[in-house]
Amino acid sequence: MKKMMKIYPILVWLGASWLMAQEGAPVAPTEPTELKHRIVIEPPERPKEPKMIYQLRATASARILRKEVVETATLDFSISQKGTGVLSVEVTGPGAVSAVTSESVKSWSIRREGERRFLEIIPAQGDAGMVSVAVSFKRDAV
């Protein structure tokens, strides 16, 4: 019994300290609280696709009629690296582009930068290779 009397105060002290530690422990809130901090996770930037690399060979011919001049240019693009972007060619002179014909062209448009005009061609094929385009220009004869 004397041994029990010596251990009893130690057991009481350990139990009381354990209960006191439990009372001061943080408790999760039961109601929504205002957020003071937030964590934002952003995805990494996607790598940029390479620009298209190409060479151009152009041949041109003209038909001169009484009321108009019809010019036809054959543009042979040799695409060595397929990438994002379009095939772009500056259009000089007063003639308007009347037609762009090719089986290997998905779409085309005219882009203006101030006084300059550019023929923008998007090829239909997905791989590098040859794209041949026939472009017709019409203007009034002087």
77-136: per-residue pLDDT in tens?
988 887 777 888 999 888 888 899 988 888 999 999 999 999 998 888 766 688 889 999
Using CB atoms within 10 A of its CB, is residue 45 exposed (0-12), middle (13-18) or buried (19+)? exposed
* Half-sphere exposure at residue 93, Cβ-oriented, CA atoms within 13 angstroms: 13
Mean pLDDT within 60-87: 87
Sign of CA dihedral 20, 25, 31, 34: positive
Residue 22 has pLDDT above 60, yes or no: no
Tell me the three state secondary structure of residue 138: strand
Q: Which residue is associated with the tokens 């930068």? A: 113
- Region of poorest pLDDT, from 16-25, 57-66, 81-90, 126-135: 16-25
- Return d(Cα 93, Cα 38) in angstroms, integer: 59
- Return d(Cα 97, Cα 130) in angstroms, integer: 22
What is the pLDDT confidence band of residue 61, given thresholds at 50, 70 and 90?
Answer: very high
